[in-house]
Amino acid sequence: MKYTNSIEIALPREKVAQLLADPAHLPKWLRGLVLREPVNGVHGQLGTRSRVVMQWGQRKTEMTETITRRDPADLHGIPTDSVVHFDREIVGAGMRSVQRDRLTEAHPDTTLWESESEYRFSSLPMRLVALLMPGSFRKQSQQHMQDFKAFAEQGKDVRESEN
C-alpha cells in the first residue's frame, strides 16, 4: 500500500525542518508516542536506529526506526531552492514501512510538507487490516501532520487534548 499526504505550514522551511528534527518536540505533536530512544546513533542522524513504542487505545506497538536519509545534514542556512529530505524505515510486528518526507519552500514564510508512505505486511492480521481499512493509514498520517502544524504554528500540544 502506498500513498502521499501533504500540508502547508505557515513557517519558513528551515524552522519547520528544525522542529521536525528535534526529539524534545516529538511528544508534543506525535499522538500516541510512548517512547522513542536511539538503540545506536544520535536521534535523527543518518543511520540511527531507534526503538519506538506507540499506543492507540489499549494497544501498544513496538517498532524499530532507521533513518535512511537526511539531506541536508545541517539544518541551518538551507539554500532557498533546495529540498529537505527526511527518510526512514520502520519495522514492527507483521509490517514494514518506508516514509519519505520532503520539505519545500512554498513561499518565503510557508513550507510544503509532502510525506510519502509505503507499507508492506507480512502477517495475516496486518494484511486484513490493510485490506479492510486502507484509509485508516492515510487518515492517521494526515492527523500526525495536522498535529505537527498546530504545534509548529500555535504551540498546541496533543497531550493536552488526550487527557
For residue 104, pLDDT beyond 90: yes
**AA letter at 86:** F
Mean pLDDT value across residues 77-103: 90
Q: Could you tell me if residue 146 is inside a domain?
A: yes
% of the chain surpassing 70 pLDDT:
93
Backbone angles phi and psi of 27, in degrees to 5:
-65, -20
Chain centre distance of CA 91: 14
Contact call for residues 13 and 104 (beta carbons, < 8 A): yes
- Asked whether residue 23 is domain-assigned, the answer is yes
Q: pLDDT-derived band of residue 158, with 50, 70 and 90 as boundaries?
A: very high
Q: Is 137 contained in some domain?
A: yes
Distance from chain centroid for Cα 45: 14
pTM for this entry = 0.89
pLDDT, tens digit (0-9, with 9 covering 90-100), for 126-141? 667 666 676 788 898 9
Q: Would you place residue 162 in the very low, low, confident or very high pLDDT band (cuts 50, 70, 90)?
A: low
pLDDT band at 56 (very low <50, low <70, confident <90, very high): confident
27 inside domain = yes
> Domain total for the chain?
1
Does some domain include residue 163?
no
Q: How far apart are CA 40 and CA 96, in angstroms?
A: 20
Report pLDDT for 161.
77
At residue 62, the pLDDT reads: 96
Instruction: Tell whether 92 is covered by a domain.
Output: no
- What was the pLDDT predicted at 125? 66
Domain residues for the domain of 5 are 1-49+129-154
Q: Is residue 66 part of a domain?
A: no
The per-residue pLDDT for range 62-82, each reduced to its tens digit, is: 999 999 999 988 888 787 778
